[in-house]
Structure 1
Amino acid sequence: MTEPQICVVSGATDGIGKATAIKLARSGAQVIAIGRSQKKGMEALRSLQEASKPVGSIEHIFMPADLSLMRDAARVANEISTLNDKVDTLIHSAGIICGDPVWTDEGLELNFATNYLSRFVLTMELQELLNRSVAPKVIAVASPGSHPDVINLNDLQMKQKWSGIRAFKQGQFANDLWMLALQRNHPSWIVSEIFPGLVKSNIFRSAVKLPFPINVAAFVAQLVGLTTEQAAEVPFLCAIAKDDSFRGKALGPQLKVRRYSKNALDIKRQDDFLNASTDLMNSLFNRS
Structure 2
Amino acid sequence: MKEKWAAHDVPDLHGRLAVVTGANTGLGFETAKVLAARGASVVLAVRDVGKGKQVAARIADTVPGADVGVQDLDLSSLDSVRAAADQLRTAHSRIDLLINNAGVMYTPKQTTRDGYELQFGTNHLGHFALTGLLLESMLSVPGSRVVTVSSVRHRQATTDFDDPRSERSYRRVPAYGRSKLANLLFTYELQRRLSGKAETTSVAAHPGIANTDLIRNSPAALRGLFTVFGGLIAQSPEMGALPVLRAATDPKVQGGQYYGPDGFQENKGHPKQVESSEQSHDTDLQRRLWTVSEELTGVAFPV
Give the TM-score normalised by structure 2. 0.84
Select between 126-135 and 148-157 the one with higher mean Cα deviation. 148-157
Shift of the alpha carbon at 1:19? 0.6
Shift of the alpha carbon at 1:66? 1.8
Cα RMSD (Å) of the superposition?
2.2
Shift of the alpha carbon at 1:124? 0.4
CA contact (8 A) 1:145 1:260 kept: no
Matched, 1:237 2:246: yes
Structure 2: runs of 5 or more not aligned: 1-12, 262-269
CA distance in 2, matches of 1:272, 1:108: 17
Matched, 1:89 2:97: yes
Matched, 1:257 2:273: yes
Matched, 1:153 2:164: no
Select between 216-225 and 187-196 the one with higher mean Cα deviation. 216-225
Matched, 1:44 2:78: no
Matched, 1:139 2:150: no
CA contact (8 A) 2:155 2:276 kept: no
| Distance change (3 Å), C-alpha of 1:248 and 1:238 | same
CA distance in 2, matches of 1:222, 1:73: 35
Percent sequence identity over aligned pairs: 24
Q: Which amino acid aligns with 1:228?
A: P
Superimposed CA distance per residue, residues 88-126 of structure 1 (whole angstroms, 9 cap, x where no aligned partner): 001111111143111123111111111111111110000
Tell me the SS of whatever aligns to 2:155. coil
CA distance in 2, matches of 1:106, 1:129: 26
Q: Which amino acid aligns with 1:267?
A: T
CA contact (8 A) 2:18 2:98 kept: yes
CA contact (8 A) 2:15 2:40 kept: yes
Superimposed CA distance per residue, residues 13-65 of structure 1 (whole angstroms, 9 cap, x where no aligned partner): 11000010000000000001011223321111112323442xxx453210122
CA contact (8 A) 1:10 1:34 kept: yes
Superimposed CA distance per residue, residues 221-247 of structure 1 (whole angstroms, 9 cap, x where no aligned partner): 733321111211222233222x24242
Shift of the alpha carbon at 1:128? 0.4
CA distance in 1, matches of 2:78, 2:224: 32
Q: Which amino acid aligns with 1:203?
A: L
Superimposed CA distance per residue, residues 202-238 of structure 1 (whole angstroms, 9 cap, x where no aligned partner): 00111136xx5x5577557733321111211222233
Shift of the alpha carbon at 1:134? 1.0
Give the TM-score normalised by structure 1. 0.88
Q: How many residues align?
A: 276
Question: Paired residue for 2:31?
Answer: 20
Structure 1: runs of 5 or more not aligned: none
CA distance in 2, matches of 1:29, 1:41: 17
